[in-house]
Amino acid sequence: MIKIDPTSYTPFYEQVKTEIRKLVMTGSLRAGEALPSIRELAAGLVLNPNTVARAYRELERESLIVTQKGKGSFVADGTAPVVRKAKEAHLHRVLDRAIREARELDLDPEEILAAFKRRLERSGDEGKKGDRHD
């Protein structure tokens, strides 16, 4: 469910945080639901447990998850209402960045929009694929 890009400059622990936030935002992980254990996830992602632990620790600090000693980590309650807003904010952040970068190329809004439509359709055909490289 989660993928880490080793070529990205974004630290592994940040990538793990982002991926888990997405799972919550899409409803793949619901309030109260258990996250994979640190060791489990670390093994799956071929990361050191320390790295995953750091991601969980920071997600806990922002109250997205809670950890119960001896039991594991769970999506925090009260998350549900926040999700909708977070999702919208995330979408805007993502789109605004693309728009800003496109405009920095000195392109007209019409051109940008046309290109966006084409790429969006294209992405529908191919399913979700793509190489990130922040």
Partner DNA sequence: GTGGTCTAGACCACA
List interacting residues with DNA (CB under 7 A).
Answer: 11-14, 35-40, 46-51, 53-54, 56-57, 60, 67-73
Residue 31 or 66: the one with the smaller Cβ distance to a copy of itself is 66
Footprint on this chain of a copy of itself (rule: CB under 8 A): 6, 9-11, 14, 22, 25-27, 48, 69-70, 87, 90-92, 94-107, 109, 112-113, 115-117, 119-121, 123-124, 128-130, 132, 134
Residue 23 or 67: the one with the smaller Cβ distance to DNA is 67
Q: How far apart are CA 23 and CA 1, in angstroms?
A: 8
Q: What ranges in 62-78 are assigned the alpha helix state H?
A: none
Q: How far apart are CA 29 and CA 84, in angstroms?
A: 14
End-to-end Cα separation, the chain, in angstroms:
20
| Chain mean position to CA 77 | 19
